[in-house]
Structure 1
Amino acid sequence: MTSDYLRAIKAALTGSPATPLALVCNFEAEARWATNHVGLPAAALSASTDVVRRMEQLGALLAGPDDVLIASHDLDPGFRRYAEELGFSLPEVLVPSRTGGSTTENAIGSPELLKALHGRQLLPMGTTVDEEKLADAAGIPLAVPSADVFERVNGKIYGRRLVEDTGLRPVPGHTVESVAEFDSTLHGVSGTVVVKDSYGVSGKGLVVLDSPAKVQGLRKLVHRRASRTGDDRLHVVVEHWLPKRCDLNYQFTLARDGSVTFDFVKQALTEHGVHKGHIMPAELTETQHEELRHAADVVGARLHRDGFHGVAGVDAIVGVDEVLYPVLEINARLNMSTYQGGVVERLVPPGHTCLARHYPIGDSGFADVRRVLPRDVVVTCFGTAAAGRLYTMSFAPDRASLEALDAATTTALESL
Structure 2
Amino acid sequence: MRLTTLLTEFSRKLKRALTGHDEAVFIYINNFEVEEYWNEQGVLKLPSLSVGSAADVVNRMEELGIFLAGEQDVVLLKELPDSGFIADAQAIGFGRSRLIATEYNEPGLNITANILHCQRTLDRLRELADTQDIQAYLVPFGASDQEEELSQRTGIPLAVPPADIFRKVNDKGYSRRLNAELGIRQIPGCECYSLEELTSGFERMKSVLEQGGRIVMKDSMGVSGKGITVIADEARFHKCMKLLEKQASKNGTRAVNYVLEQWMNKTCDLNYQILIHQSGEIEFLGVKESLVEQGVHQGHLMPPRLSVAQIEVIRDAALQIGAALHRDGYYGVAGIDAILDEDGSVWPNLEINARFNMSTYQTEIQNQWIPEGMLALAKKYTLRLNHRLDYEKLRSTLGPLLFDPLKGEGILINNFATVNAAFKGEDRVFSGRLYGVIIAHSAEQLRSTDAAVEAKLSFINEVK
Is this a same-fold pair by TM over 0.5?
Answer: yes
Match of 1:240 in 2: 262
* Match of residue 199 from structure 1: 221
> CA separation in 2, counterparts of 1:121 and 1:196?
34
Matches within 5 A, 1:137-286: 137-189=153-205, 190=207, 191=209, 192-286=214-308
Q: Please report how far the alpha carbon of residue 98 of structure 1 lies from its aligned counterpart in structure 2 after TM superposition.
A: 6.0
Structure 2 vs 1, CA of residues 316 and 45 (structure 1 numbering), >3 Å: closer, same or farther?
farther
Counterpart position of 2:28? 23
How far residue 170 of structure 1 moved from its aligned partner, in angstroms, is 0.5
Q: Does residue 115 of structure 1 match 2:113?
A: no
Structure 1 residue aligned with 2:58: 52
Superposed CA deviations along residues 8-33 of structure 1, whole A, max 9, x for unmatched, are 11111111222110000111310000
Q: Is the 8 A contact 2:62 2:111 kept in 1?
A: no
Q: 2:114 is matched with which residue?
A: 106
Is this contact kept in 1: 2:33–2:223, CA < 8 A? Answer: no
Judge conservation of contact 1:253–1:262 (CA < 8 Å) in 2.
yes
Secondary structure of the structure 1 residue equivalent to 2:161: coil
Within 1, Cα distance between the matches of 2:32 and 2:282? 24
Quick check: 1:19–1:121 contact (8 Å CA) kept in 2?
yes
Match of 1:398 among 422, 426, 442: 442
Match of 2:394 in 1: 369
**CA separation of 1:274/1:3 partners in 2, compared to 1, >3 Å: closer, same or farther?**
same
Q: Identify which of 5, 9, 18 aligns with 1:4.
A: 9
Q: Which amino acid aligns with 2:13?
A: A
Tell me the CA shift for residue 38 of structure 1: 2.6
Matches of 1:413 and 1:114, distance apart in 2: 42
Q: How many angstroms does 1:167 deviate by?
A: 0.6
**How far apart are 1:106 and its partner, in Å?**
3.4
Number of residue equivalences: 416
Paired residues of 1:39 and 1:205 also in contact (CA < 8 A): no
Distance apart, 1:44 and its partner CA: 4.4
When the two chains are superposed, the root-mean-square deviation of aligned CA atoms in Å is: 1.6
Partner residue of 2:454 out of 396, 410, 413: 410
Aligned twin of 2:427: none
Greater shift, 158-167 or 360-369, is seen at: 360-369
Distance 1:254 1:405 in 2: 36
> What is the rounded CA distance, in whole Å, between the counterparts of 2:368 and 2:50 in structure 1?
36
Identity across the alignment (%) = 38
- CA distance in 1 between counterparts of 2:338 and 2:59 reads 28
Q: What is the Cα deviation at residue 399 of structure 1?
A: 1.9
Which aligned runs of 4 or more in structure 1 are off by greater than 6 angstroms?
none
**Greater displacement, 95-104 / 278-287:** 95-104
**What code does the residue aligned with 2:92 have?**
L
1:128 alignment partner, one of 144, 153, 164: 144
**1-side partners of 2:46 and 2:126: how far apart?**
39
Distance (whole Å) between structure 2 residues aligned to residue 133 and residue 154 of structure 1: 21
- Contact 2:79 2:105 survives alignment (8 Å): no
* Aligned-partner residue type, residue 310 of structure 1: G
Q: Deviations over 1:171-194 (max 9, x none)?
A: 111101000000101112122100
Q: Which amino acid aligns with 2:247?
A: R
* Match 2:89 to one of 83, 86, 90: 83
Q: For structure 1, which runs of at least 5 residues remain unmatched after alignment? A: none
Q: 1:248 to 1:39 in 2, by over 3 A?
A: farther
Question: 3-state SS of the aligned residue for 1:63?
Answer: coil
